[in-house]
Amino acid sequence: MQEKEAIDALVIGAGPAGLMAAEVMAQSGRRVVICEGKPSPARKFLMAGKSGLNLLNAAPLETQITTYAEAADWLAPMLRAFGPDQIGAWATGLGQELFTGSSGRIFPHAMKASPLLRAWLARLEGQGVSLRRGWRWTGGAFDFATPQGARTLAPKVTVLALGGASWARLGSDGAWAAHLGARGIACAPFQPANMGFQVKWSAHMAPFFGHPIKGARLSAGAQSLRAEFVITRRGVEGGGIYALSRALREGAALHLDLFPDVTLAEMSARLARQPRKLSTANCLRRALSLKGARQALVMECARPLPTAPDALATVLKTLTLPLQGPHPMDEAISTAGGIPCAAFDTRLMLRQWPGVFAAGEMLDWEAPTGGYLLTASLATGHWAGHHAAEF
């Protein structure tokens, strides 16, 4: 029988939440071992940084807390204890100066995640944290498949930080839910979050794949915002779509106001002034400078177009995109679902597994892009690490 290796503190998962939990426990004097299933740590974190690492948001903290919807109540103490201000100071302490973009999103000047991660891993190593790569948790208590064969650990305290269920090739495959289920801990079903949506375009849209639609107002359910999105071969993606993804996932229709700065009455008047002999497409081009991808979108989604000015203006202010469901969950930026609030206490310790804490995207919370995802991951990692060290 495989002999169990006794260790002081264990972290499973070397993403942002796990690394933060390890750092806090190491600072508290714990001898920490991190087990990471992949050959290298923080792969999803590095992928996020390829397009510019959006670490934080400059919105007031109490405003940020509301973005977490039904999870806001239990996340609030963690965000107040280690929120945007503290995370900003932590990043600066790792040599990463930050700047705030025009949208209020906060980035490292380097834009990438790799310089921050390198500095962080070096500091953890200096604190005595041991990182075991290629150690994949296979269930049981703490059984692992490793490059050296099967191993079993016996930690005094553990923090689970295995991520959600998107981007499986980077390590977040949600397989851990079955391991918790075997211990009687039922997880909320995973759902895609911050994802694109499918549209079955006609061949007429092919020339506009990859084109952005700027300046429109997007609405879904009770939500409405000015934002950009991109027409793709399979549908629509981009910040505006991600911000509405929860409402869209739950069945709300996506409506576009392509001219949010022009009133319905003014638009109707402009259209009415055009010569009747003009085609509808030329009428729209002359009256409203509607052309290119924006015009193609109107012709695709509202054909046959009405000719009456009032009716045509209404179409342009309330254009409905025929969404056919979200892109696959594995392509989503994040996921909803995971360990429900009822399964852990105020310390993030699992009620049915004393001495085992959870952090990051494993927990059932959902937030939009804009810095909120990493903020909550780091905040919950900090909180779990602190309470695990005290356990």
SS in 3 state form for 199-257? Answer: CCCCHHHHHHCCCEEEEEEEEECCEEEEEEEEECCCEEECHHHHHCHHHHHCCCCEEEE
Give the model's pLDDT for residue 323: 98
Give the model's pLDDT for residue 2: 67
How many angstroms separate the Cα of 235 from the Cα of each of 238, 291, 323? 11, 20, 8
Residues 6+ apart with CB under 8 A from 364: 71, 187, 188, 336, 337, 338, 339, 340, 341
Q: Which of 379, 387, 309 is nearest to 345 (CA)?
A: 387
* β-strand pairing of 130-133 with 32-36: parallel
Residues 6+ apart with CB under 8 A from 220: 244, 247, 248, 252, 253, 254, 255
Give the model's pLDDT for residue 387: 98
CATH architecture of 5-193+335-390: 3-Layer(bba) Sandwich (3.50)
Task: Enumerate the domain spans of the chain.
Answer: 5-193+335-390, 197-321
Q: Going residue by residue through the chain (391 aa), what tens digit of pLDDT does each one get?
A: 568 999 999 999 999 999 999 999 999 999 999 999 999 999 999 998 888 999 999 999 999 999 999 999 999 999 999 999 999 999 999 999 999 998 999 999 999 999 999 999 999 999 999 999 999 999 988 999 999 999 999 999 999 999 999 999 999 999 999 999 999 999 999 999 999 999 999 999 999 999 999 999 999 999 999 999 999 999 999 999 999 999 999 999 999 999 999 999 999 999 999 998 999 889 999 999 999 999 999 999 998 999 999 999 999 999 999 999 999 999 999 999 999 999 999 999 999 999 999 999 999 999 999 999 999 999 999 999 999 999 9
